[in-house]
Structure formats: C-alpha cells, structure tokens
Amino acid sequence: MIRFCDEVSCPAAACDPVVCTGKGVADNEIMFQRSLAAIPGGVNSSIRAFKSVGGTPYFVARAKGASIWDVEGREYLDLVQSYGAIILGHAHPRVVEAICSAAGDGTSYGAPTPREMKLAEVIRERVPSCELVRLMNSGTEATMTAVRLARGATGRDRIVKFAGNYHGATDALLAAGGSGIATLGIAGTAGVPKGAVADTMVVPFNIVPQLDELVAAVIVEPVAANAGLIPPDAEFLQGLRAECDRVGALLIFDEVITGFRLGAGGAQGHFAITPDISCFGKVIGGGLPIGAIGGRREVMECLSPLGPVFHAGTLSGNPLATVAGLASLDLLTDDVYEELCARAERLGAGLRGAFAAAGAQIDVPVMATLVGVHLAPGAAHNFEDAKETDEGLYGRFFHAMLSEGVALAPGAYEVLFPGLAHTEAIIDEIVERAYRSAVVAVGGRT
C-alpha cells in the first residue's frame, strides 16, 4: 500500500495511511502545495492542472467503476476516465485480476512474451488495415514512430496535419495542436526548434488539402476529439484517402482515442476507410501505459530490425499493460459498443436539455460513444469554430458540476468518456446534476 503519511507518529486521530498528509488532515490543498514543491505546476501532465478553470485539482485516492474519490473522501461521478484510457470503468475486476496475476510473473523482461503476440493478434483481427502491429509505451510514441516510419518508407520529409488535432507531445506534431495547447492558448510550444516543425504543414480540419509529391504523410484524428468533438464531414476522410493515393503519400489515422472506442474497428471501421498506418493508445492498455502502430505489411516492414527505420523501447510490449489491454478488449463485444452508443446519446440529450432549460443554446455533438460539449450555438466543423466555445461558461459549469460531485476534464476542449460503468441510472444522475449546474453556470454564479 502506498504510504503518504511520513510522520513517525501521526497527529491524525484515525490516520488513513493512503491519504493522510502527515499534518493530521487529508486535504487536496495540502497535497497540491506539497506537489507544487516537488513537481512543476504540481502535475505530471499539463492538462491536469486547473489553469484554465481555476482552483485546486482534486487528488484522487481511489476509483471504482464510474466513481472516483478524492483524498478528502468526496465521491465524484467521473467522465474523465483517464482521458479515455478507461472504457470498462475504474478498477474493473477482470482487469485488476489480470494485472495482479501477471505481476507475480514479473513486470518486464527485455524479451518477447506470448501476451504481446496475443495483443498484436487481437488488434490485427479487429482492425484489418493492421497487417502488422508494433507495441510501444504511449500514444505520443506511436505518432512519433508513425511519422518516422512514413518518412522512412516514402523517402519524403513533409507531414500534413490538421489544426486542432492533437497527436501527443512529439516535436514534429506540436504545431497548432488541440487539447492542452488550445487550452493554454499558445501556438505550438517553446523548446521546439523551427527545424523540427519546418516540414509540418498545418491545414484546416474537414477540408481535403491539395498535396504534392513532397508529402510523406497526412496524419489525422479521423474524429477530432481534442478540440471538443468534431465529426468528419461526409466526404472528408474519403477525400483524404484519394488525395494521398494521387501523390503517393501515406495516410496515418491517429486512433489513440477512437481506436476500440468508437467501435471494435475504430474510426476506420466506422467510416470504412483504410489508412496506411494507424496509431493506438489509451483503451488498448486498459489504463496502463501503452501505444501501438499498425499498418500495411510493406510499410510496417520498413521498421527495424527488418527495415531501416529504427524503433525500440525498454518497456515496449510490457507484460502488465498488455494483459490489462487484453482483459479490456476481451469484454468489448459489438453488443457492448451498441450499449455505449446508447448511453452516449442519453448523456448528450441530457446535457442539451440541461443547458436549454437554463436558457443557453449550446451544441452537444455525439459521435458513436463519444460526447462533446461545445458551448456555442452552432456545430463546429474545424478548430476555428471550436474556439468559439465559451471558456468562461465552461469553467463555471466545470466547478458547478464538481460541487455537485461530477468530474469533467478541467479544459473546455476535452470530450466526455461515458463507459461500461456509466449505467443508465448513473447517466441520469449526472444529467440531473447538470440541470442544476447549468443554471448556476449560465447565471454567472460559481
């Protein structure tokens, strides 16, 4: 058990070693102050900071199903779900059991294992474009490797990405990203030399760009889920496929969110488009660190040791991450996805109703199992539209929901992740709280 209490004899009357701060109280503020002293900004991923919504982050002590509990013992119905890494709900018994039993066999070896083989097989089975699969440790590593692979396979340098699409924290793709970067309001980031993005072209989402033969690859979130939720227009993905083929560029689908989330076949299955390379993360690790790329055999064979494009990782194909991923994917049948879609619809309709009742016209896009909250009257088709969302209103809604015991992501550009643990009754409870929260938020009170 993790011990936070570092007092030899704790002054707390009933010291809970998991959450005690050593000062006799379990307190988010004290935890945050201690973290600030040890960790830049007190967080290990910038988007977890409450910078854009204000206030002190809740420190999570534990989670189960749709709920998380902070160190003060407050329960929140959680729609963050580790930004989509969790789809079965927190601490699902099958996942916990799989991790515990695997841990006893050792946690990393530096040699191949049957579980990596199995996870690669499961991904291949469900996503036919992935003739070969390589596992790694994060979504960031997946997009970074996909870009290197595309450049190595084509002998070209240029990459085209879409404004507001987020592909992780890899230098070449940190131009006009969504999510944290959109929230923080900085174009790109310091520390990325001009050279690193010199071959990255950023174009508007939902318009097929005209390419030329300098382009190695187009990378796209097939459903944009880091600038609010922006579904692709009818002909967009098909048009991208055709334009890539016309100039011999590769099409990379970043399915780190959409993979095994929109449905068993991800966005490519949903829209029936075949990319050359796909990037995965989040769901395939069942809440443990993982990433993967998959693609056409002849492209994937450019990776070392078969080909000239280097890729390696000490913890790649990690025994715990693969076993957690396998346990998760095992439960994700077509029936489950259908059920998740119904819950997403129910949540979307509820949130729409909540804001309408509070007198605000907003847009709540729902795409299969994903729900967005666009606090502006019209639907967003691109990043410019997405930025019309009322960030002040989001901040007030976020805090009102938090007071009601519902956790949303602390940023106006994140999507909601209803999962298997969000039963109809829980969705209805969230919606009821959203009705009260919307009144508070629209009324301008906090």
Ligand X SMILES: *Cc1c(COP(=O)(O)O)cnc(C)c1O
Active site residues: 166, 254, 282
Residue 186 has phi, psi (to 5 degrees) of: -115, 140
Instruction: Please identify, using beta-carbon distances, which residue of 166 and 383 lies nearer to ligand X.
Output: 166
Amino acid at 169: A
Please state at what angle helix 319-331 crosses helix 93-103, rounded to 10 degrees: 150
Strands, DSSP E only, in 348-436? 366-367, 370-371, 406-407
Neighbours of 30 (CB within 10 A): 17
Q: Is 162 in the site for ligand X (CB under 6 A)?
A: no
Q: Is 229 in the site for ligand X (CB under 6 A)?
A: no
Q: Which residue in 67, 226, 278, 382 binds ligand X (CB under 6 A)?
A: 226
Q: Is residue 209 reached through a cis peptide bond, with omega within 30 degrees of 0 on the bond before it?
A: no
CB 328 to ligand X: min, Å: 15
Residue 160 CA from chain centroid, whole number: 21
Stretch that binds ligand X, among 250-258, 338-346, 362-370, 373-381 (CB under 6 A): 250-258
Q: Which residue in 140, 183, 206, 318 binds ligand X (CB under 6 A)?
A: 140
Instruction: Please identify, using beta-carbon distances, which residue of 355 and 413 lies nearer to ligand X.
Output: 413
Q: Measured between alpha carbons, how far is 360 from 383 in angstroms, rounded to an integer?
A: 22
Q: Which residue in 57, 89, 139, 228 binds ligand X (CB under 6 A)?
A: 139
Q: Is 166 in the site for ligand X (CB under 6 A)?
A: yes
Q: Is 138 in the site for ligand X (CB under 6 A)?
A: yes
CB–CB of 244/229 below 8 Å?
no
* Nearest residue relative to ligand X (C-beta): 139
Q: Which residues pair with 134 in a beta bridge?
A: 293
Q: Using alpha carbons only, what angle is made at residue 79 by residues 371 and 417, rounded to the nearest 5 degrees?
A: 40
Q: Is 363 in the site for ligand X (CB under 6 A)?
A: no
CB 34 to ligand X: min, Å: 25
Instruction: Please identify, using beta-carbon distances, which residue of 269 and 291 lies nearer to ligand X.
Output: 291
CB–CB of 247/195 below 8 Å?
no
Q: Which residue in 27, 70, 243, 254 binds ligand X (CB under 6 A)?
A: 254
CB 358 to ligand X: min, Å: 30
Q: Is 168 in the site for ligand X (CB under 6 A)?
A: yes
Residue 59: half-sphere exposure toward Cβ, Cα within 13 Å: 21
- # residues contacting ligand X (CB under 6 A): 14
CB–CB of 188/176 below 8 Å?
yes
Q: Is 374 in the site for ligand X (CB under 6 A)?
A: no
Q: Which residue in 115, 156, 167, 374 binds ligand X (CB under 6 A)?
A: 167
Q: What is the DSSP string of 122-164?
A: HHHHH-TT-SEEEEES-HHHHHHHHHHHHHHHHT--EEEEETT
The secondary element (H helix, E strand) that includes residue 326 is: helix 319-331
Q: Is 218 in the site for ligand X (CB under 6 A)?
A: no
Q: Is 143 in the site for ligand X (CB under 6 A)?
A: yes
Q: Measured between alpha carbons, how far is 409 from 391 in angstroms, rounded to an integer?
A: 13
Residue located via tokens 């346990």 = 327
Instruction: Please identify, using beta-carbon distances, which residue of 5 and 136 lies nearer to ligand X.
Output: 136
Q: Is 316 in the site for ligand X (CB under 6 A)?
A: no
CB 99 to ligand X: min, Å: 18
Q: Measured between alpha carbons, how far is 223 from 84 in angstroms, rounded to an integer?
A: 14
Q: Measured between alpha carbons, how far is 395 from 130 in angstroms, rounded to an integer?
A: 40
Q: Is 257 in the site for ligand X (CB under 6 A)?
A: yes
Q: Is 221 in the site for ligand X (CB under 6 A)?
A: yes
Q: Is 292 in the site for ligand X (CB under 6 A)?
A: no
Residue 258: closest CA among 230, 289, 217: 230
Q: Measured between alpha carbons, how far is 382 from 176 in angstroms, rounded to an integer?
A: 12
CB 241 to ligand X: min, Å: 19
Stretch that binds ligand X, among 15-23, 134-142, 318-326, 345-353 (CB under 6 A): 134-142
Instruction: Please identify, using beta-carbon distances, which residue of 243 and 254 lies nearer to ligand X.
Output: 254
Stretch that binds ligand X, among 162-170, 210-218, 303-311, 391-399 (CB under 6 A): 162-170
Q: Which residues pair with 226 in a beta bridge?
A: none
Mapped onto helix, strand or coil, the DSSP state of residue 99 is helix
CB 256 to ligand X: min, Å: 4
Stretch that binds ligand X, among 73-81, 149-157, 253-261, 326-334 (CB under 6 A): 253-261
Stretch 392-411: interaction string toward ligand X, x if CB under 6 A: --------------------
CB 85 to ligand X: min, Å: 8
The sheet that has 75-78: what strands, in order across it?
A: 60-64, 67-70, 75-78, 406-407
Q: Which spans of this chain sit near ligand X (rule: CB under 6 A)?
A: 138-140, 143, 166-168, 221, 226, 254, 256-257, 281, 291
